[in-house]
Amino acid sequence: MPVDILAIAAHPDDIELGCAGTLVRWKTRGGRFGLVDLTRGEMGTRGDAETRRREGTRAAEILGAEFRETLDLGDGGLSKSRENELALIDLIRREKPRLILTSFPEDRHPDHRRAGELVTDAAFYSGLRKIETSHPAHRPQQTLYFSTAYTHAPTFVVDVTEAMETRRAAIRAFTSQFHDPASAEPQTVLSQAGFLAAIEARARHFGFMVGVEFGEGFVSRRPPRVDDPVAAFEGFEPGF
């Protein structure tokens, strides 16, 4: 049975930090989504591949994903090789998503940037029937991008206020990556005490832009169709 949305990113926890609220909201409405990590996160400063696999499995359960699949395309040097592209094309064709969510292809971490580019290209090539893999051609409607380290002006914002508790729980499932006063592992950008507060603040900022408490912003290379432009801007203060 196809998923509606396929979220694909370089490392376990990238999806949770970027678009988990949107996925939870989709699930609440009866939708189906899957998660794909392009690498096992084995080069991360904290934790190891096995720990991150367990954390990722737990986070996927919390979010209500249909599945979480981990490819092994090389953490700390994710390659946009034809071989990797074909693996991803076949996975997209197998799951037949209508939308793909991935990292914006301009970010601090080169793996995030490469993931965004690889996924964008694979989503397009998936629709070319003369590229043969083990599943028939399928092209998703659109690839949407979420911000990770850098923020980008969103094309639209999804209200994730109701999904925030679940989103927080899924992020906290990655205990090896985030702040833990008892951990003896080296500090990273993600593990410093203020990181999760900053992630939360970003969601507040995106939410404020559209007149709700929390939001997740997405960049799209083409704009979404809006059927009711009046309703689309309801909730703003006069003159905002």
Residues forming contacts to Zn ion in the complex (CB under 5 A) are 11, 14
- The nearest distance, CB 208 to Zn ion, in angstroms, is 26
Write the CB contacts of 154 (distance below 8 Å, at least 6 apart in sequence): 206, 209, 217, 218, 219
Smaller CB distance to Zn ion: residue 52 or 93?
A: 52
- The nearest distance, CB 44 to Zn ion, in angstroms, is 8
Smaller CB distance to Zn ion: residue 62 or 115?
A: 115
Which residue minimizes CB distance to Zn ion?
A: 11
Neighbours of 67 (CB within 10 A): 13
Distance (Å) of CA 109 to CA 102, 158, 218, 222: 14, 25, 18, 25
The amino acid present at 157, given as its one-letter code, is V
- The nearest distance, CB 9 to Zn ion, in angstroms, is 7
For residue 29, how far is the Cα from the chain centroid? 19
Which residue in 2, 6, 15, 17 sits closest to 197, CA to CA?
17
Smaller CB distance to Zn ion: residue 161 or 188?
A: 188
Smaller CB distance to Zn ion: residue 11 or 40?
A: 11
- The nearest distance, CB 206 to Zn ion, in angstroms, is 19
For the chain, give the number of residues: 240
Smaller CB distance to Zn ion: residue 51 or 161?
A: 51
- The nearest distance, CB 153 to Zn ion, in angstroms, is 21
Adjacent-strand bridge partners of 198: none
